[in-house]
Amino acid sequence: MDCGVPRELLDDLTAEFDSLRTLVPSGTNLRLPTPAVGWDVGAGVSHLIGCDLLAEEAVRAPGEFRRARPATDVGLAELLEGHITARKDLPVERLRQEWADAFAAMLRAFTSSRREQRVPWFGPPMSPATLATARLMEYFAHGQDVADALKIVRRPTDRLRHVCHLGFVTFEFSFANRGLPVPPSPPRVELRLPSGRSWARGPEGADAVVTGDALDFALVVTQRKHPLDTSLTCRGEVAEQWLAIAQCFAGPPGPGARG
């Protein structure tokens, strides 16, 4: 049976988990506020735990996941808030253990998934590989929040290519999710990965083009940084409009890029 998630992606997801977990050792002050309004370090970790458990169930038992899935955005917000509330008083070692257990369970589910499988989520069904990419993106985004709270500068890696890919393929979603007309075609995106390698998506010769650093693009599409605070350059109105509202995560429109 072909695994539904490529080994390289599973390895990169695990590396992203390991990298973030090293930032939250024993003795970490979980109450340190992060740039995510109303969230501290503990809330960020608790959110990841809850979503890892949801992803595990969605892959392993899709019927159970569908039956329990909230039907409204309000219900989803309450579910996600419940993950944080349930763990807000846990000591850091207990939280770290729950985190490790939840991630391991999710990884087992991904390893046992099938390539042809369609996984329910909060939006259209997706492949196991797409959900694994989304989980890596969340680890990157919330990892940035935790690093900012702890005043740690993380060394970027080429794992960013997964976040950049998700940012590109959610071009249409970023507009439609805000009730805006979707441009007929996406911009060309040309980025430099931390290794120096080039990464590109979109039609060659497009009128609209985004160029720059992969880290900057990843921070923009996860709404961790405002495009004007990056080295990204845009050519064309569509490129500028997109980066102002880019959102590569599911759910209602986010507050927009941080200024």
What domains can you pick out in the chain, each with its CATH number? 7-149 (1.20.120.450), 160-245 (3.30.1050)
Locate 160 and state its tokens: 């960013």
**pTM for the model:** 0.95
Q: Which residue type is seen at 196?
A: G
Phi (first) and psi of residue 31, to 5 degrees: -90, 0
Determine the distance from the C-alpha atom of residue 11 to the mean position of all C-alpha atoms in its chain, rounded to a whole number. 16
Q: Are 128 and 5 in contact (CB under 8 A)?
A: yes
pLDDT tens, per residue, the chain with 259 residues:
589 999 999 999 999 999 999 999 999 999 999 999 999 999 999 999 999 999 999 999 999 999 999 988 899 999 999 999 999 999 999 999 999 999 999 999 999 999 999 999 998 899 999 999 999 999 999 999 999 999 999 999 999 999 999 999 999 999 999 999 999 999 999 999 999 999 999 999 999 999 999 999 999 999 999 999 999 999 999 999 999 999 999 887 876 555 5
Determine the distance from the C-alpha atom of residue 35 to the mean position of all C-alpha atoms in its chain, rounded to a whole number. 16
Reduced to 3 states (helix: H, G, I; strand: E, B; else coil), residue 169 is: helix
b (16+ CB within 10 A) / e for 120-148: bbbeeebbbbbbbbbbbbbbbbbbbbbbb
The β-bridge partners of 201 are: 189
Residues 6+ apart with CB under 8 A from 232: 210, 211, 212, 213, 216, 217, 220, 243
Locate 15 and state its tokens: 């590396």
Question: Cα separation of 114 and 209, whole Å?
Answer: 36
The β-bridge partners of 199 are: 191
Locate 101 and state its tokens: 């257990």
- Residue 249: closest CA among 148, 142, 146, 156: 142
Q: Are 174 and 242 in contact (CB under 8 A)?
A: yes
- For 184, other C-beta atoms within 10 Å of its C-beta total 6
